[in-house]
């Protein structure tokens, strides 16, 4: 069971709170996967495994979950590996990167076993438009590689487009899964026409008002989390409308949701002040460096150089200032930049 209260990215945190828990992921897979797969695996035996196989450079736009489970025929065990993509563009090399993660799982497994276990590779996509990037290695093959070549490995991952999965929402018994899909649907369609936005907003609040959330702990742990996620993704005018709708819920729930909205406002103001201070420091450093350069060169610097200095960060400006006595002309400054 995944329990990380400090996940920094809202997409990651919500994904892991919704589907990183075995009982929810088990039902989710049983509902969305085709029968030829569900009859091969005992999803009720799903157990959370190692947290992540993703390299540091990819953490900005993806997260992952690994589960082990028993095969339905009782002949052994296997893995379900879930890669969650959350970015505005699709990664062409996802199939190759996913294969790398699978090889890492197999490599660790060979320390205790003499056979490679089955891995069910899945990509959860939450982005703009439908997925149209390659979903197999064969789709990435270059000249000289033919379909069926034994020397070229191939596989195809299972693609789960979160924008399409809302159609399954009524098939789930767990409110947490239903609310998760409603929240994703609301964020995905936030910029659509007025009628569409009002429809998905109504569906979200209808789910949030489900009697299941009378469990106060569950509502605080997940219901309020989806509300924060929705507000973080919403443009200002839509956010105010969402807050107005939340205020109309039962007093206990609306009080909690209003506290979430108030906390976000305060965090926004605090971040704004912090950014303002940083910009002020940078502006002061820029003005000081320009004065130092012009005194050193005994001339006004060009507009092109001034523009480059304006775009430089605070540390780079300090670096220029520290090396002012080594500067003979504008080329020396551009070298430092």
Q: What is the DSSP string of 203-252?
A: HHHHHHT-GGGGSHHHIIIIIHHHHHHHHHHS-HHHHHHHHHHHHTS-HH
State yes or no: pLDDT of 74 exceeds 50: yes
Phi/psi of residue 242, each to 5°? -65, -40
Q: pLDDT by residue (tens digit) across 92-132?
A: 889 999 999 999 999 988 888 889 999 999 999 887 777 88
Phi/psi of residue 144, each to 5°? 95, -15
Q: Which helix (H) or strand (E) holds 82?
A: strand 77-85
Q: How far apart are CA 149 and CA 124, in angstroms?
A: 29
What's the pTM? Answer: 0.74
Q: pLDDT at position 218, please?
A: 87
Q: pLDDT at position 98, please?
A: 92
């Amino acid at each position: 069971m995944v329990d990380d209260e400090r996940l920094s990215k809202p997409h990651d945190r919500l994904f892991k709170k919704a589907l990183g828990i075995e009982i929810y992921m088990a039902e989710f897979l049983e509902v969305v996967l085709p029968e030829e797969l569900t009859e091969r695996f005992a999803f009720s035996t799903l157990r959370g495994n190692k947290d992540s196989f993703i390299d540091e450079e990819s953490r900005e736009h993806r997260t992952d979950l690994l589960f082990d489970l028993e095969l339905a025929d009782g002949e052994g065990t296997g893995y379900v590996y879930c890669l969650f993509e959350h970015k505005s563009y699709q990664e062409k090399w996802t199939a190759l990167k996913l294969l790398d993660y699978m090889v890492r799982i197999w490599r660790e497994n060979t320390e205790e076993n003499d056979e490679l276990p089955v891995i069910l590779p899945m990509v959860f996509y939450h982005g703009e438009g439908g997925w149209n990037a390659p979903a197999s290695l064969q789709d990435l093959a270059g000249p000289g590689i033919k379909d069926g070549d034994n020397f070229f490995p191939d596989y195809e991952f299972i693609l789960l487009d979160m924008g399409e999965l809302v159609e399954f929402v009524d098939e789930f018994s767990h409110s947490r899964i239903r609310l998760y899909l409603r929240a994703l649907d609301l964020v995905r369609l936030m910029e659509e026409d007025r009628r569409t936005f009002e429809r998905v907003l109504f569906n979200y609040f209808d789910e949030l008002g489900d009697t299941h959330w009378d469990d106060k702990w569950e509502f605080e742990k997940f219901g309020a989390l989806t509300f924060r996620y929705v507000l973080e993704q919403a443009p200002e005018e839509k956010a105010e409308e969402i807050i107005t709708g939340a205020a109309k819920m039962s007093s206990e729930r609306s009080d909690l949701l209003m506290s979430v909205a108030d906390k976000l406002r305060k965090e926004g103001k605090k971040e704004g002040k912090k950014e303002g201070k940083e910009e002020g420091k940078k502006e002061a450093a820029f003005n000081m460096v320009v004065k130092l350069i012009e005194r050193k060169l005994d001339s006004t610097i060009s507009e092109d150089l001034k523009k480059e200095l304006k775009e430089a960060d605070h540390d780079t400006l300090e670096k220029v200032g520290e090396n002012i006595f080594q500067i003979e002309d504008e080329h020396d400054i551009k070298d430092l930049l």
